[in-house]
C-alpha cells in the first residue's frame, strides 16, 4: 500500500538511539537529515555513552537499564500482536485515527498531528481508500518563530509527497516560555483536502465505527 516510506530507517534509528548513538552518528549512518532522526527517536530513552575517566567508568543505573529493556520487549510484543494489517484492518484503523484527530467540519477533510508516523499513516490511508485529486491536497503548517521554515516545508513535502507549492501560508507562533518551552522542530502540519463527498464518506464510517452496533459484545 506504499506505507513503508522510511519506516525501515526509522526503526533502525530507534534501535541505534537505544544503543546510545548520538543524533549526528545516526544521521551519518543512515544518510538522512539530523532533523529527521530527531523526530524519529524523540520518545526513545537515551543514555549517553560512558566516558573514560582514568580507570573509572560511568554505567547506567540498573533500574534504568531494566526500564529500557522492558520498553523494547513490549515494543517487540506490540509489533508481533499487530502484525501486518489487512486492507480492511488498515481501513478501520484509519477511520479510528480520523475519529480522534480529524476535523468534523462538513466539506473538508483535515488531519493535523506533529508525529510524522501519524501523518504518513493518514495520507497513505486517504490515498488508498479514496480517489484523491492530488492537485487539491494542501498542507497548512503551524511552526514557531525562529525555527527553519524551509527545512520544515521540505521535510513534510518529502514525507507526504505533496509539493511545497501546494502548502498554504504557515502560521508562525510566537514562543511563550510561560506556556511551553519545548517546540516541535518541524512544526505541526495539517493535511487539508476540500471534498464534501470524501469528508462525508469518512464521517459516515466514523459514525458506523462509533455506533453501539460496532462495539465488542
Q: For residue 3, what pLDDT band results from cuts at 50, 70 and 90?
A: very low
| Residue 147 vs residue 50, higher pLDDT | 147
DSSP 214: G
C-alpha cell at position 47? 543514555
Average pLDDT over residues 1-12: 63
66/40 Cα distance (integer angstroms): 22
β-pairing, 137-144 vs 171-173, is parallel
Share of the chain above pLDDT 70, in %: 84
Q: What are the boundaries of each domain within the chain?
A: 7-82, 87-214
Q: Name every residue whose Cβ is closer than 8 Å to that of residue 200 and which is 6 or more positions away in sequence.
A: 106
Average pLDDT over residues 86-101: 94
SS3 per-residue string spanning 30-78: HCCCHHHHHHHCCCCCCCCCCCCECCECCCCCHHHHHHHHHHHHHHHHH
pTM, two decimals, is 0.69
Average pLDDT over residues 133-144: 94
Q: What is the pLDDT of residues 156-203, one digit of tens each?
A: 999 999 999 999 999 887 765 544 445 578 889 999 999 999 999 999
Q: Residue 63: what pLDDT?
A: 78
Q: Residue 1: what pLDDT?
A: 41
Q: Residue 169: what pLDDT?
A: 92
Task: Give yes or no for residue 55 having a pLDDT over 50.
Answer: no
Q: Residue 2: what pLDDT?
A: 40
State the Cα angle at 152 between 21 and 18, rounded to 5°: 15
| Residue 17 vs residue 125, higher pLDDT | 125
Task: Give yes or no for residue 86 having a pLDDT over 50.
Answer: yes
Task: Give yes or no for residue 97 having a pLDDT over 90.
Answer: yes
Amino acid at each position: 500500500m506504499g506505507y513503508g516510506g522510511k519506516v525501515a530507517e526509522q526503526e533502525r534509528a530507534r534501535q541505534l538511539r537505544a544503543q546510545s548513538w548520538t543524533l549526528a552518528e545516526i544521521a551519518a549512518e543512515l544518510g538522512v537529515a539530523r532533523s529527521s532522526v530527531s523526530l524519529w527517536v524523540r520518545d526513545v530513552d537515551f543514555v549517553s555513552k560512558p566516558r573514560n575517566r582514568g580507570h573509572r567508568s560511568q554505567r547506567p543505573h540498573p533500574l534504568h537499564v531494566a526500564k529500557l529493556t522492558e520498553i523494547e520487549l513490549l515494543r517487540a510484543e506490540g509489533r508481533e500482536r499487530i502484525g501486518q494489517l489487512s486492507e480492511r484492518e488498515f481501513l478501520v484503523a484509519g477511520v479510528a485515527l480520523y475519529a480522534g484527530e480529524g476535523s468534523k467540519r462538513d466539506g473538508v477533510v483535515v488531519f493535523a498531528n506533529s508525529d510524522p508516523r501519524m501523518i504518513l499513516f493518514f495520507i497513505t490511508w486517504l490515498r488508498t481508500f479514496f480517489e484523491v485529486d492530488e492537485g487539491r491536497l494542501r498542507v497548512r503548517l503551524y511552526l514557531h518563530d525562529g525555527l527553519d521554515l524551509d527545512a520544515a516545508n521540505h521535510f513534510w513535502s518529502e514525507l507526504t509527497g505533496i509539493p511545497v507549492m501546494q502548502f498554504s501560508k504557515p502560521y508562525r507562533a510566537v514562543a511563550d516560555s510561560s506556556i511551553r518551552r519545548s517546540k516541535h522542530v518541524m512544526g505541526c502540519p495539517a493535511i487539508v483536502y476540500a471534498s464534501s463527498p470524501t469528508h462525508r464518506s469518512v464521517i459516515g464510517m466514523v459514525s458506523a465505527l462509533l455506533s453501539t452496533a460496532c462495539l465488542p459484545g
